[in-house]
Chain A
Amino acid sequence: MKKDINPSRRRFLRNLGIVTAGASVGACKPGATTDSDKPLQDGKMTYRTNPNTGDTVSILGYGCMRFPTLGMANGSDDQTLDQEAINKLVDRALEAGVNYFDTSPAYCQGQSEKAIGTALARHPRDKYYIATKLSNFAPQTWPREKSIEMFENSLQYLQTDYVDYLLLHAIGGGGMNNLHQRYLDNGVLDYLKEKRKEGTIRNLGFSFHGDIEVFDNCLAMHDKGEVFWDFVQIQLNYMDWNGEKDEAHRNVDAEYLYNELARRDNPVVIMEPLLGGRLANVPVAVVEQMKSRRPDESIASWAFRFAGTPDKILTVLSGMTYMDHLNDNLRTYSPLEPISEEENMFLKNVADEIRSNNTIPCNYCNYCMPCPYGLDIPAILTHYNRCIIDRNMPSDATDPDYAKQRKAWLYGYDHSVPKLRQADRCIQCGTCNPHCPQSIDIPAELHRINEYVEKLKQTKA
C-alpha cells in the first residue's frame, strides 16, 4: 500500500513545485503570464485582412518556438516535445479562432515543424495558415541544393503541399554580406519566387533582426520591383517602439520599421510582443500601476494590446507554452481593445522605468544555444535579470540584508544553472554572438556576471 502512495505523492509534490514555479520564479520563463480574471468570450476574436491575398488572419498568431516538452510534464530534463500537450493547445487555439501558426526548421531543436504538422494534420487544411522559414544558422545549410532540401523537408514535416507564408529567416544578422551569400547570390530567392508562382508558397516575406541597412535594402528591392514582399515580420513591443530615437538605436526602433512597412501597405507580422516573457515580469511598481488601471487583466495583456493596436498589423505571434498563456491571450484578443493615446503615454513611461533597471535584453529565444562549451546562456542571463527585477543585487557587505540576499543570489544561481554550465565556463569564443537577435554581446555580459558572482562569493557578510 505504502509503495503505491509514495510515487503519487512525489508526483503531487512535483506538480505543486511546477505550479508554484509558474506563479513566481517561472514568471521569468518564456512567455510566462498570469491568468487574468477577465471572462473569455470565444468567437469574438479580432481578425485582420491581408490586402494581397484577402486572407482573414486572427490577430493572435501561434508562435511554435516555445512548445512544451515532456520534461515540463514529468519534471525531468527531457527536451522531447510533448505532442499530446501540443495537440491540446492547437485544438483549443483553433476552436477559439486562432488560424495562423508560425514555425521554423530550427525551432525547438528542430522538432517544431514536425510537432505542429502532426497537430494541424488532424484538422481541415483550409482552416489555418502555416508560416515557416528558410533558416540560416550554419553556412553548410546555405547552398541552393541544401536550401531546397530544407524547404522540401518543411513541406514533409508539415504534412502539406503548400506553405501559406514563407520567410527568409532573421535577415539582418551579419549585414548585407550574409544576405547576399545566404539568399541572393546562390539563387535561393529566385527558387522561392518560382515556388510562389507555382503556388507552393502563397506569401513570400522575411523576418528581420539586426542591421537596419539590410532592412532598408530589402524594401528598396521591393520599391524597385526586384522582389515583391507579400509581408514582413518585425519585432515590435512598447519597449522597442518607445526606445531612444538616435542613430545607435535605429536597428531596433520598431516605430521606424513599422512606419516604413505601413506606408508601402505591406502587412506586418509581429514577433516578440512580450520580449520572451520579460514584459510579463515587470518591476513591482509597474505591476501596481497596471493593475490599478485594469485590475482584472494580466500584465502580459498590456504588451499584447499594444502590439495589436496599429492597423497594418496582420497578426501578433505569441510562443505559448502553457494552456493558461493561450487562454490569457485569447481573452486579450477576443476582441482586441486598442491602446488609447493616454495608455500609450503610460506605456512610454513604463518602458523608461523598465529600461532604467539595466536588465540584459535576453528574450530566452535560445538562438544562441547550444553553446559549444556547454553553457546555459539564457538561464544565466535570466537569473541575473530576475535578481535585478526583484531588487536582489547585494553589493554592500555592511548592509543588514547582505547575507540573506547573497545566499538567495548564489543558491538561486546554482539552482537555475548547473555548475558546469555557469558563466565562469565561458571561454569567450563568441560563437553565440552572431546568432543573438537582440545583439547582446553575450561573452561580455557573461564575463561581467561572473565578475559579480566572484565578488559575491569572496565577500561574506
Chain B
Amino acid sequence: MLRTIRIILAVIAFIAITAVFVDFTGTAADRFGFLPKYQLVPALLAVNTLAIIILVALTLVFGRVYCSVLCPLGVFQDIVNRIRLAFTPKRKRKPGVFRYSTERKALRYGFLATFAILFIAGLLALLPQSFAGLLDPYSIFGRGVGQFAVPVWRSGVSAVAETAADSGTYLIDGAPASAAFVWGVAIVAAIQLIIVILIAWRSGRGYCNTVCPVGSILGLLSRFSLLKPVINLDKCNSCGSCGRHCKASCINTKEHKIDYSRCVVCMDCINNCTQGAISYSIRRKSHPAATEQAKPEAGRRNFVVGAAIAAGAGVAMAADKTTDGGFAPLKAKKRHAGITGTVPAGAISLEHLRRHCTACQLCISACPSGVLKPSMELSTFMQPVMNFTKGYCRPECTTCADICPAGAFHPIAKEEKAAIKIGTAKVDPNMCISAAYGQKCGTCERSCPTKAIHMVQGENGNMRPVVDESRCIGCGSCEYHCPVGTAGQITDNEAAIYVEGIDKHRTI
C-alpha cells in the first residue's frame, strides 16, 4: 500500500517535472512550475525558506521520501532498475537482486565536501555555480532532458503540428525554435547520465548513497526521522528477502539493522517481507550504521570546449533578377566573437547569475523565443547566455524569470520588463548596408521596441543608425532583425548592430 502510494506520487512528480521542461506551450509550467522550486540545491541557492523548511520537515518526519518521489534523477534510477529487472531472467529475479553493502563513507563525504567547496566557491564568485551544479541531481537530470528529450519531443510535436496545420487545424502549438542543444553540454549531460545509469544498473541507488550530495545531506537528517521502516525481531525469520530487495543496499539482514542515512523509504522491503515483520513506524532506539568499506566508483569527466570560428567578411552584390519566384538563400547569423555576454532581465547582474545558476537548463528549455543558449565559456560554463540570431527577448515575456528555481533570475513584472536594461546596442557602420553602402534600410530603427535607435545622416552622407544608450534595453530586436548576416548583399555572417551586455542590470 505504502509502496503503491510512493510509486504513484513518484510517477506523477517525474512526469510533471519532465513536462515542465519539454512542454513549450507553458501549460505544464503554469501547473507544475513550482516543482523545480522544491529541489534542494536550487532552493538553497534561491534561499527559498519555505521550500527548505518543508524539505527538512518532510525528511525529519518521513525520511528520504524526497529521493524516492521528488528527485527526478532518483525516480530515473528506479526506472533504470525496472528496465534492468525486465532484462533479468525470472529465476534470478525471484529472491531479489540486491545485497547489503557497507556505507562508503570516505567517498560519500568526500563528494559532499567537494560539492560544499564548489558551492561556496560559486557563491563567492570564484567559480560559476554550474560547477557545483555538476553534482546537483536535479541539474544533471535537467541537462539530460534539456539536451535530449526537449529536442526529440519538439521535433515530434512539430511534425504532428505541421500535419494538423496543413489541414488548417491549429490545435497543437508549433514548437518554437530552441537553441538548447549545444554539443559541449550534450556531451557533459550524456557522460553524467551514463555514469548514473551504470551505477543504477549495478547497484540500485548506489549513486544516491555515495555520490549525490543531496542524498548525503538528507541522509544526515533522515537518521533522525520520526517514521522509518522498523524490523520487528519477534516476527522476523531472518530470510534475508528485505536485504535482497533493498535498492539502497542499506539493510544488514545478518544484524537486523537498517542504515537510515541511506534508506530512501521506497517501502520495497515492507512489501517483500512475507512475515509482515517490517513496518513503517516510529522507532524507539537508533542503531549506529555499519562499518565503512570504501570502493571507488565514479569515473572522471573530461570536458571538451569548442572553439569559436571567426568568419571572414566581404561584400558581394546580390544576383540580378532575371526570373520570377524562388527564394534568396538565408545564412546562419552568428554572434560577434568576444563581446560581453547578455543575460535576461531578472538576472540582476552577470555576477548574480554566475553565482546562482546550477545550469539545469530549465530556462533554456522554456524560452519561447529561442534566445537562450548554454554558454561554452569556462567562466559561465553551461549557464544561459542570450543569442539573438534566432529571436530576441520579447517585451511581453518573463518566462525565464518566472521559472528559475535557483533564484538566478528574480521574478519581474511584465510591465517592468521593457524598462530593464540588460545591454546596449552597438553599431558597426562599416557593415551596415545603409551607413556603408547607402541602401535604404532602417530596420533596426523600426523594430526597436523602446524607440532607442535613430537613423541620422553620417559623415559620408548616408543614413546610419545611432543608439540612444539611455533608452536602449539590449533586447536584441535590432540584432535579430538586421538583414546583414542573414540575407542581402553583404556576405558577412554577423549583424551590423549587436548587443553588448552590461554587468549590472538596471531599470531605466
Give Cα A79–Cα B324 distance, bound, in whole angstroms. Answer: 12
Find B443's partner among A107, A365, A415, A427 (CB 8 Å cutoff). Answer: A427
What 1/0 mask marks residues of chain B from 316 to 357 whose CB sits below 8 Å from any chain A CB?
A: 001011111111111000000000000000000000000000
Q: Complex Cα distance A407/B164, Å? A: 14
Chain B hits for A419, CB < 8 A: 177, 390-391
Assess whether B166 is in contact with A21, with CB atoms less than 8 Å apart.
Answer: yes
A196 within 8 A of B: no
Question: Which single member of A25, A370, A427 contacts B327 (CB below 8 Å)?
Answer: A370
Any B CB within 8 A of the CB of A20: yes
B322–A24 touching, CB < 8 Å: no
B454-497 interface bits toward A, Cβ cutoff 8 Å, 1 = contact, 0 = none: 00000000000000000000000000010100111100000000
Contact B170 A428 (CB under 8 A): no
Interface residues of B in 170-186 (CB under 8 A from A): 170, 173-174, 177
A414 interface residue, CB < 8 Å from B?
yes
**B-chain residues with CB within 8 Å of residue A408 when the two chains form the complex:** 170
Across the interface, B321 reaches (CB within 8 A) one of A25, A79, A370, A374, namely A370
Instruction: Report the bound CA distance from A408 to B322 in whole Å.
Output: 37
A373 at the interface (CB under 8 A from B): yes
Q: Which of the residues A140, A370, A428 comes within 8 Å of B325, measured between beta carbons?
A: A370
CB-nearest residue of chain A relative to B443? A427
Those of B391-407 within 8 Å (CB) of chain A: 391, 394-396
Contact A420 B327 (CB under 8 A): no
A262 to B390, CA, bound (A): 56
Q: In the complex, A140 Cα to B320 Cα: how many Å?
A: 8
Among A24, A407, A420, A457, point to the contact of B170 (Cβ < 8 A): A407
Beta-carbon nearest neighbor of A459 in chain B: B396
- Is the Cβ of B322 less than 8 Å from the Cβ of A376? no
Interface size on B, residues (CB 8 A): 42
B293 at interface (Cβ–Cβ under 8 A)?
no
Contact: A420 with B486, CB < 8 Å?
yes
Chain A residues positioned under 8 Å from B446 (CB to CB): 428, 447
In the assembly, what is the distance between CA of A412 and CA of B164, in Å?
11
B314 at the binding interface (Cβ < 8 Å): no
- The 8 A CB mask of A101-129 against B (1 = contact, 0 = none) is 00001111110000000000000000000
Q: Judging by beta carbons under 8 Å apart, are B323 and A110 in contact?
A: yes
Instruction: Select B326's contact among A138, A370, A425, A430, beta carbons within 8 Å.
Output: A370
Is the Cβ of B323 less than 8 Å from the Cβ of A109? yes
**CB-CB contacts of A56-80 with B at 8 A, as 1s and 0s?**
0000000000000000000000010
In the bound complex, do residue A424 and residue B447 qualify as a contact, i.e. CB atoms below 8 Å apart?
Answer: yes
Contact with B along A343-381 (1 / 0, CB 8 A): 000000000000000000000011111111110100000
Contact with A along B374-396 (1 / 0, CB 8 A): 00000000000000001100111
Instruction: Check A435/B329 contact, CB under 8 A, given A412-B170, A458-B395.
Output: no
B489 proximity list for chain A (CB < 8 A): 372
Judged by a CB distance under 8 angstroms, whether A13 is at the interface is: yes
Q: Establish whether residues A415 and B481, one from each chain, have CB atoms under 8 Å apart when the complex forms.
A: no
State which of B161, B174, B326, B396 has its C-beta within 8 Å of the C-beta of A109.
B326
Q: Please, which residue of chain B has its CB at the minimum distance from the CB of A408? A: B170
The residues of A that contact B330 with a CB separation of less than 8 Å are: 374, 420-421
Point out the residues of chain B lying under 8 angstroms from A460, CB to CB: 396
Q: Report the minimum CB–CB distance from A394 to chain B (whole Å).
A: 13
**Given A18-B166, A109-B325, A407 contacting B320 (CB threshold 8 A):** no
A residues 317-363 in Cβ contact with B at 8 Å? none
A411 at the interface (CB under 8 A from B): yes
0/1 interface trace, chain A 123-154, chain B, CB 8 Å (1 if under): 00000000000010110110000000000000
Question: Cβ of A428 and Cβ of B442 under 8 Å apart?
Answer: yes
Does residue A285 face the partner (Cβ distance < 8 Å to B)? no
**For the complex, is A5 an interface residue (Cβ under 8 Å from B)?**
no
Whether the pair B170, A366 counts as a contact (CB closer than 8 A) is no
Q: Is B19 an interface residue (CB 8 A)?
A: no
**Which residues of A are found within 8 Å of B321, using beta-carbon distances?**
137-138, 370, 431, 435
- Among B162, B165, B166, B325: residue with most chain A CB under 10 A: B325
Q: Does B163 contact A (CB under 8 A)?
A: yes
CB neighbours (8 Å) of B323 from chain A are 105-110, 137
Asked if B320 contacts A138 (CB within 8 A), the reply is yes
* Cβ-closest chain B residue relative to A140: B320
- CB of B325 within 8 A of CB of A415, answer no
A461 → chain B, closest Cβ, in Å?
13
Q: Mark A9-23, 1 if CB is under 8 A from B, else 0.
A: 000010001101100
Quick check: A24 and B324 within 8 Å, CB to CB? no
Known: A369-B324, A427-B483, A428-B440. A25 touches B166 (CB 8 A): yes
Interface residue? A248 (CB, 8 A): no
Contact A429 B439 (CB under 8 A): yes
Q: Is the CB–CB distance between B324 and A374 below 8 Å? A: no
Chain A residues positioned under 8 Å from B327 (CB to CB): 369-371, 374, 376, 421
Q: Which A residues lie within 8 Å of B433 (CB)?
A: 427
Asked if A137 and B324 make an inter-chain contact with CB atoms under 8 angstroms apart, the answer reads yes
Query: Which residues of chain A come closer than 8 Å to B174, judged between CB atoms?
Result: 411, 414-415
Tell me if B168 counts as interface (CB < 8 A to partner A). Answer: yes
B167 within 8 A of A: yes
**Complex contacts, A106 vs chain B, CB 8 Å:** 322-324
Given contacts A411-B174, A457-B394, contact A427 B441 (CB under 8 A): yes
Chain A residues, Cβ within 8 Å of B325: 79, 107-109, 366, 369-370
Contacts of A135 in B (CB 8 A): 322
Rounded to whole Å, the gap between the CB of A454 and the closest CB of chain B is 9
Known A24-B168, A411-B165; contact A366-B320, beta-carbon cutoff 8 A = no
Contact call A25/B396, Cβ cutoff below 8 A: no
Report how far A367 CA is from B162 CA in the complex, Å.
28
**A64-100 interface with B by 8 A CB criterion:** 79
* Residues A367 and B488 in contact in the complex (CB < 8 Å), given A425-B483, A427-B443: no
Asked, given contacts A20-B166, A106-B323, A106-B324, whether A373 binds B396 with beta carbons under 8 Å apart, the answer is no
Residue in B closest to A150 when the chains form the complex, CB atoms: B322
Given contacts A21-B167, A138-B320, 11 further A-B contacts (CB under 8 A): A110-B322, A138-B322, A369-B326, A373-B488, A374-B330, A411-B161, A415-B165, A428-B440, A428-B443, A429-B441, A435-B324
Binding site for A on B (CB under 8 A): 161-163, 165-168, 170, 173-174, 177, 318, 320-330, 390-391, 394-396, 433, 439-443, 446-447, 481, 483, 486-489
Can you identify 6 A-B contacts, CB atoms within 8 angstroms? A106-B322, A366-B325, A369-B325, A411-B165, A435-B324, A458-B396
Please give me the 8 A-B residue pairs with the lowest Cβ-Cβ distance, nearest first: A374-B487, A110-B323, A138-B320, A20-B167, A17-B166, A366-B325, A415-B165, A109-B326
Q: Which residues of A contact B (CB under 8 A)?
A: 13, 17-18, 20-21, 24-25, 79, 105-110, 135, 137-138, 140-141, 365-374, 376, 407-408, 411-412, 414-415, 419-421, 424-431, 435, 447, 457-458, 460
